[in-house]
Amino acid sequence: MTEPFGARLRHAMDERGPLCVGIDPHSALLTAWGLNDDIAGLERFSRTVVEALADRVAVLKPQSAFFERFGSRGIAVLEKSVEEARAAGALVVMDAKRGDIGSTMAAYAETFLHKDAPLFSDALTVSPYLGYGSLKPAVDLARENGAGLFVLALTSNPEGGEVQHAVRTEDAAGRNVGATMLAHLAAENAGEAPMGSFGAVVGATLGDLSSYDLQINGPLLAPGIGAQGATPSDLPAVFGAAVRHVVPNVSRGVLRHGPDVVALRDASDRFADQIRAAVEAA
């Protein structure tokens, strides 16, 4: 039976450091690397990031949209990147933010979470805003295949608050939507050790989150370190007692050092060391 994602992630974070690096080949970054904004540039970029980092970081997170924009050839590059990253020991979180209902949600789950799928990833980002229950096909398939989910809960974009901070009138506890998603995830992870496989996306730029119960016994994927303004030293203040389960995501802060492989490795090592030090000091 496949070891659950949460256990594999905990091991990878302990061994390699708690860092997730994005693979975000947007056009401006391709240009900054001296590459054309075409399929050849996409392939060179992705191959370089995987070569530089897949054997040293805990998690790589390709953003599916930047591959999808090139059509079927871009998807082929994404498939190869996922395959090679996992073969080198990195866990792959597919950042696709899928969310739908019924058979459509099941099809999205099969695309990324079925062990025989060409795009099979260790975990998938999903949107719960058709109701948390709409994610059940993805939850079930992730459990079956030893994969995980990262559910959008408290995102760093300012627009997110109009949905995530809304209070549900039918909630006797007066919780807002973001807190409700965290509670659902805590229930999914109950009793799992060393860590559950169902995590939340919680922005590292959000400041004091002490009013939320972030101890969901699962990972917290935290965008915002680096270019968005948060620093590794901010993590304990933002995440409190849950900081050990935080998976900080850095994209531009590392990728801007490419295409030089050594520079990419040095940048990722610096962030991993800084994050580890901040967590251990908390």
Residues involved in catalysis: 97
> How far, in Å, CA of 196 to CA of 214, rounded?
13
> How far, in Å, CA of 16 to CA of 6, rounded?
15
Q: Is the peptide bond before 259 cis (omega within 30 degrees of 0)?
A: yes
Q: Could you tell me which residues come within 8 angstroms of residue 158 by beta carbon, excluding any fewer than 6 positions away?
A: none
